[in-house]
Amino acid sequence: MSGPVRLGVLGCSAIARRRTLPAVADIPELTTAAVASRDAAKAAEFAVAFGGTPTGYDELIADPEIDAIYLSLPTALHHEWTARALRAGKHVLCEKPLTDDAARTRELTGLAREKGLVLRENFAFLHHPQHVRVAELVAGGRIGALRTFTATFGIPPLPAADIRYDRALGGGSLLDVGVYPLRAAQLLLGPGLAVAGATLRSDEELGVDLAGHVLLVSPEGVFADLEFGFQHTYRSRYGLWGSAAELSLDRAFTPPAEHRPVLRIDEQDHAEELTLGASHQFRTSLAAFAGAVLDRGPDEPAWLDAADETARLITEVRERAVRVRG
């Protein structure tokens, strides 16, 4: 197909309003063609702000003029509507995680493979070049043999009515913030991570987890120590501890577009800081998705494999976690 990709927006979420749809306007290969919400007034409001025609869910899926769907519904609805979009022949960019279950995720990735469609989770941080530089330094031996990866993503408590406290909609800290350290571990340590242990702090009344701590081990024996939750001051960072030095990165998952990342390398008697260029990770994520839809490059199987791996880890963390009261 030739561009631009005609994008249908399924779900008028806060992340769509604040981050994704403003970035779509900056991508020549994308255009917002329609916006769907269960609330007609909200769809109309989004259409005025970001373009496109206001519509409903079913109408959006059935519209032959729509090439791809950006899906930002609550996690509990991802499986149903992603499956419907794929069966209708639409490419899909779905907010993370794709689903909360390994089997349901495999069903969706299998559909994408069968139909030759692009299906990606919108982990925008993966498209920030700071992580490429980190991987280059590690591969080049700058910190010696890698022994441990640590990652933390925590945010303060949310308003009481926030949907991330709603079990029926797929709430909980593991699915909202915990998936970032899990995905970062996959990015930097590769596939085949094993869950060695996990703890989830849960609110029994709400029925959702509020915080968690996970220990993974890579096939090469590298430890991954991950923390996350809704009960903390803001923290978004990771570190790689090797035999010769430690490398750390702050604002790892949600850096502002103007932020210039600083990689800090600490040795026993020396410290060094490398300042990198700023990058708008939502724009690069959307541009990559549009490019994949237009070109169908060789990277799509890796994205599907990564979604399967993330869902497997989510499922195993839940199954193995020691649960404590929040």
Rounded CA separation 221/242 (Å) = 13
Angle at which helices 179-189 and 129-139 pack, to 10 degrees? 40
Residue with tokens 């519509």: 55
* SS3 at position 231: coil
Residue with tokens 């493979």: 113
Question: Which two structure tokens, joined as six digits, stand for 264?
Answer: 């800090």
Question: Which two structure tokens, joined as six digits, stand for 309?
Answer: 């791996």
Q: Identify whether 74 is preceded by a cis peptide bond (ω within 30 of 0).
A: no
Q: Find, among 129, 154, 131, 301, the residue nearest to 233 by Cα.
A: 154
Contact present, 212 and 322 (Cβ < 8 Å): no
90 is catalytic: no
Q: Which residues contact 299 (CB under 8 A, 6 or more apart)?
A: 292
Catalytic residue among 42, 90, 96, 115: 96
In whole angstroms, what separates CA 31 from the centre of its chain? 22
Rounded CA separation 70/58 (Å) = 14
How many helices, marked H, and strands, marked E, lie in the chain?
Answer: 11, 15
Q: Find, among 309, 303, 280, 313, the residue nearest to 24 by Cα.
A: 280
Question: Which two structure tokens, joined as six digits, stand for 233?
Answer: 């001051």
For residue 106, give Cα distances in angstroms to 100, 112, 177, 213, 290. 11, 10, 22, 25, 23
Question: Which two structure tokens, joined as six digits, stand for 16?
Answer: 């769509």
Which positions are annotated as active-site residues? 96
